Amino acid sequence: MKMQSDLGRVRGLGSAKSGSSHWWTQRVTAAANLPLGIWFIVSILAGHTADYDAVQAWLGSYFHSTMMILMIVSVAVHFTHGLQVVIEDYVHNRKVEMISLMLIKAVAAFLSVAAIISVLRIVFAGA
Amino acid sequence: MSKANRPLSPHLQVYRLPMTAMMSITFRAMGVGLAIGFVFLASWLIGAGAGRDAFEGYHAFFTSWFGLLLLFGWTAAFYYHACNGIRHLVWDTGRGLTNEGAAKGNPIVLGAAVVLTILTWIIGLA
């Protein structure tokens, strides 16, 4: 049974005007987080976070700094999408909901950019 | 429509959640916990970029008993969320998306998360 009008199907975006992009982005970042998370845990177990000098050498390398920045972006996108759904499910006051959603995204964006700049700082300090 | 005549859904205070439901809400809770972990990870990175003194402060915190307890919690949360997340990706393809399929997967996800968490800490502390 068709649940959509032809026009709705052609536009394919639904009432939120974003289609399945929220759902799909959460899946794609979930898949990306698996290798990135394993890389992070293996790095810790390999002693790359044991002290200050080890961290500088670790994040000073092209590969590890690239992986760290990718992980920051992928994880931040994944958890803002996830927390958005949690807030939408449990916060029933529309004003509080909107403010919470914007706050979550603002905090995630600020921390992500600050963390990426820190990684780049380590990269270029060693260059 | 009259609200009084509608059937009541199971009340959370008197209804004992089945295993599948417990696994589901735990998945979400662990996700929120990991998001909080991101705040710590980002702060730690900012400390690492700021210089030796700033980093030492974070390092002392994360190697204290409370810091290690948090790290253990995030390890368990990561593996649980990852294992159950893989199950969700499988469900997204339509496979195992039944009451029986979910019940069968529960101990596998839980077992894998526990084993991986313990294994990681054995390697980490060795």
Contact A37 B50 (CB under 8 A): no
Residue B1: inside a domain, yes or no? no
Domain map of chain A by residue range?
6-126
Residue B2: inside a domain, yes or no? no
Identify the domain containing residue B89 by its residue range. 19-125
State whether residue B91 sits within 8 Å of chain A by CB: no
The 10s digit of each residue's pLDDT in A13-70 is 776 667 788 999 999 999 999 999 999 999 999 999 999 999 999 999 999 999 999 9
| Counted domains in chain B | 1
Chain-wide mean pLDDT for chain B? 93
- The closest of A78, A82, A84, A85 to A33, measured between CA atoms, is A78
Residue B59: inside a domain, yes or no? yes
| CA–CA separation, B47 and B52 (whole Å) | 8
Tokens of A55: 């961290």
**Topology given in CATH for the domain delimited by A6-126:** 3 helical TM bundles of succinate and fumarate reductases (1.20.1300)
State whether residue B73 sits within 8 Å of chain A by CB: no
Residue B96: inside a domain, yes or no? yes
Please tell me the predicted confidence (pLDDT) of residue A50. Answer: 94
| CA–CA separation, B48 and B56 (whole Å) | 9
Q: What is the ipTM of this complex?
A: 0.89
A2: Cβ contacts below 8 Å, ≥ 6 apart: A9
Residue B6: inside a domain, yes or no? no
- pTM of the predicted model as reported, rounded to 2 decimal places: 0.90
**Which residues between 47 and 86 in chain A have a beta carbon less than 8 angstroms from any beta carbon of chain B?**
51-52, 55-56, 59, 68, 72, 75-76, 79, 82-83, 86
Decide: B84 and B34 in contact? Cβ < 8 Å.
Answer: no
Grouping H, G, I as helix, E, B as strand and the rest as coil, residue A14 is coil
More confident residue, B7 or B32: B32
Decide: B121 and B38 in contact? Cβ < 8 Å.
Answer: no
User: In whole angstroms, what separates CA A73 from the centre of its chain?
Assistant: 4
The single residue listed with the structure tokens 């994944």 is A78
Q: Which residues of A touch B33 (CB under 8 A)?
A: none
- pLDDT cut 70: percent of chain B above it: 98
Please tell me the predicted confidence (pLDDT) of residue A10. Answer: 67
Whether B12 has a pLDDT exceeding 60, the answer reads: yes
Tokens of B105: 């997967």
Whether B72 has a pLDDT exceeding 90, the answer reads: yes
Residue B12: inside a domain, yes or no? no
Contact B50 A118 (CB under 8 A): yes
Residue B63: inside a domain, yes or no? yes
DSSP conformation letters of B32-72: HHHHHHHHHHHHHHHHHHH-HHHHHHHHHHHTSHHHHHHHH
Residue B9: inside a domain, yes or no? no
Q: What is the CATH number of the domain that holds B70?
A: 1.20.1300.10
Contact B49 A118 (CB under 8 A): yes
The 10s digit of each residue's pLDDT in B36-61 is 999 999 999 999 999 999 999 999 99
At B11, is the pLDDT very low, low, confident or very high (cuts 50, 70, 90)?
confident
